[in-house]
Amino acid sequence: MDQDKVIITVNFIKRNISHDLEVPLDISANELCFALFELYLPSTEESFEHYYLRTERPIALLKGDSTLREFGIRNGSIINITR
């Protein structure tokens, strides 16, 4: 496995969706939030700014321009998309 990518589980609580995704570690929390919002809610008029990413393994609230690597995201991390 590439050291610059990890496999995470993404849970979109509102839609009862759970997927395993491979993501790069060098993207920011904001970039990931925007990409996940486009993936799961492409045709809504809701703003992704009303959602946040809460992680397990490690426990954190992902936000801002810090990268996933800086947050300590690793293989098996779980990211919950919630309002």
72 vs 66: CA distance, rounded Å: 11
Per-residue tokens: 14: 């509102």
Looking at the structure of the chain, the number of domains it has is 1
**According to the model, what pLDDT value does residue 33 have?**
87
Host H or E run for residue 29: helix 29-40
Instruction: Find the CATH number of the domain harbouring 59.
Output: 3.10.20.90
Read out DSSP for 3-21? TTEEEEEEEEGGGTEEEEE
Average pLDDT per block of 10 residues along the chain, 83 residues long: 86 88 95 86 66 89 93 95 83
- Whether the predicted model's global pTM rises above the 0.85 cut: no
**According to the model, what pLDDT value does residue 47 have?**
61
| Full residue range of the structural domain in which residue 48 is found | 5-82
